[in-house]
Amino acid sequence: MTNIGIIGCGGISRFHLEGYAKAGARIAHVCDIRREAAQAVGDRYGARAGADYRAVLDDPEVQLVSVLTIASTHRDICLAAIAAGKGVVCEKTLADNPAASLEIARAAEQAGVFCATAYMKRYFPASQQAKTLLAEMGDVISIHARSWQPWGPWNAEIDPSFLNHPSPVMQRYGGGVLVCGGSHILDLIHWFGGRPSRVSGDQYFRPGMDFDMRANAMLWLENGGIAHFEACWHPLRFAGYERNGWDERLEINCEHGRLDLYTVKWDMPENNGALLVHQDAETGRTTEYRYPAVNPFHLEMAEMLRRFEAGEPPIPSAWDGYVVDEIIAHIGRAAKEHAVLPVAWQDRVAVKGQG
């Protein structure tokens, strides 16, 4: 049985805790800067609890840690965990800038330590089936990807806290919709189509606010295709596959067909299953893959645990996390410079962990 450490007991932690527990791991040690939050989790799982993450890393029983704090703290915590020889599962984004992500990925590789980035949308059964089908569909021609989420003061009165800079959104997440919503979709673009060689971008910031409400980009993929990307916090409360405002989908066009992937609201995945539609260009047949509603976090944690215990590399890896953070940085800079930017990948070799 693997002993788990949890660093950060905020809202996202319940998905990691439940996933590990369902997979048979033991929650051994938890911490949060709000000691009462850590104690509540510790009481629930019979774990040691405290306010200092270093106590978790110093605990000889802890083998694998989930880093669930704000992104600006990920670098220091992940590097300390790697130095302590702990396996790491770090929530997205891996860091708040690509240089820090690259440092984490390199440190884990040099130390031979398991280090994953938690992009759970790869673990929808529909996403897994899409990846399987793509292997037989030829080259990717284009990807149209969007993440529209019903949140934020699009046209309503602005909360005064948003006018104080850095706003709570920037303090907690390090960015607006590009970071919070777009990062998952950029990971899927990378997973399905490969890395971009060039990037253009645009962002909309409502006057007086320091975080973006809309982000758009074009990514020229190294493999020859092109990806059209958009993310938006919007006021359309009944849009999307579930008609609840959550409108997140990818259309992937290939030599031998098309895939349409529709995800479901991230924190309510038990309501509906994600949907995949496959159009076969050779036969003309269209197939819908409908799955029972499942929690992809639980599937992700189970697979992370299996890979850690088997000594297999993580998927997504820290290198995958670096890729997304590099793309985010390029979109932001391209938007400011009104330019198409080449991407100089700092690893200089094929990225590991793209299984």
The pLDDT score that the predictor gives to residue 320 is 97
Q: How confident is the model over 60-72, as a mean pLDDT?
A: 97
The pLDDT score that the predictor gives to residue 178 is 98
Number of CB atoms found within 10 A of residue 85's CB: 11
Q: Specify which residues 220 forms β-bridges with.
A: 198, 226
For the domain spanning 3-120+299-317, the CATH number is 3.40.50.720
Which tokens hold the place of 29?
A: 């040690």
pLDDT single digits (tens) 247-272: 999 999 999 999 999 999 999 999 99
Helix (H, G, I), strand (E, B) or coil at 158: coil
The pLDDT score that the predictor gives to residue 350 is 47
pLDDT(348) > 60: no
pLDDT(345) > 70: yes
pLDDT single digits (tens) 171-210: 989 999 999 999 999 999 999 999 999 999 999 999 999 9
Q: How confident is the model at residue 137 (pLDDT cuts 50, 70, 90)?
A: very high
The size of the chain, in residues, is 355
Name the helix (H) or strand (E) containing 221.
Answer: strand 214-221
Which tokens hold the place of 13?
A: 């932690």
What are the structural domain ranges in the chain? Answer: 3-120+299-317, 122-293+326-342
On whether the CB atoms of residues 299 and 14 are closer than 8 A, the answer is no
pLDDT single digits (tens) 142-156: 999 999 999 877 888
Exposure pattern of 86-100 as b/e (b: 16+ CB <10 Å)?
bbbbbbbbbbbbbeb
| Mean predicted lDDT score pLDDT of the chain | 95
* Whether the domain at 3-120+299-317 and the domain at 122-293+326-342 fall into the same CATH topology: no
Round to whole Å and give the CA distance between 196 and 301: 28
Sheet strands side by side (includes 214-221): 286-290, 275-280, 257-262, 247-254, 140-149, 226-233, 214-221, 196-204, 340-342
Answer whether CATH 3.30.565.10 is correct for domain 122-293+326-342. Answer: no
